[in-house]
Amino acid sequence: MNIAVGVLELEEKTMRLRAFAILLTIPLWACASKPEGGAGTGASALDTTLGVIETPLLIAFKIPLCVGSAPVFAPGAVVSSVFPLKDTSKGNGWQRLANSVSEACGPPYVATPQYGTRQQ
């Protein structure tokens, strides 16, 4: 009976290791693919490496920024509905709130560094 439990635990650990390996491999594969636009526009190895490193950081910082932007900008939108803004070229307070949230929560979701490109 103990042997069967040990085998099940070993299989469970093996499956977790495989799932972890797949989760690590997929972003590396996605970042290493060539960008669209032809064969001459391929990213350098430095750009790909930095993109792989920076994308999780971008996502890690983008999530709290996205979640926190609405509560930060909402009081200004409420106040602007009571006291209208003088400069309405960017819209009223609610439109500015929607624009700010869409900027904080919208693309890009993958970092595209340009550090390795050479200036000619």
Residue 92 φ then ψ, to 5°: -80, -175
- Residue where the block lists tokens 């890690």: 60
Q: Give me the residue spans of the domains in the chain.
A: 1-32, 45-120
pLDDT digits (tens, 9 = 90+) for 85-115: 777 777 787 888 888 888 888 888 888 776 6
pLDDT digits (tens, 9 = 90+) for 34-51: 555 444 455 677 777 888
Question: Is residue 68 scored above 60 in pLDDT?
Answer: yes
Provide the b/e sequence for 86-120 (b: ≥16 CB within 10 Å): eeeeeeebeebbeebbeebeeeeeebebeeeeeee
pLDDT digits (tens, 9 = 90+) for 4-40: 777 778 888 888 888 887 777 766 666 655 555 444 4
Q: Confirm if 42 and 34 have CB atoms less than 8 A apart.
A: yes
First-to-last alpha carbon distance for the chain, in angstroms, is 71
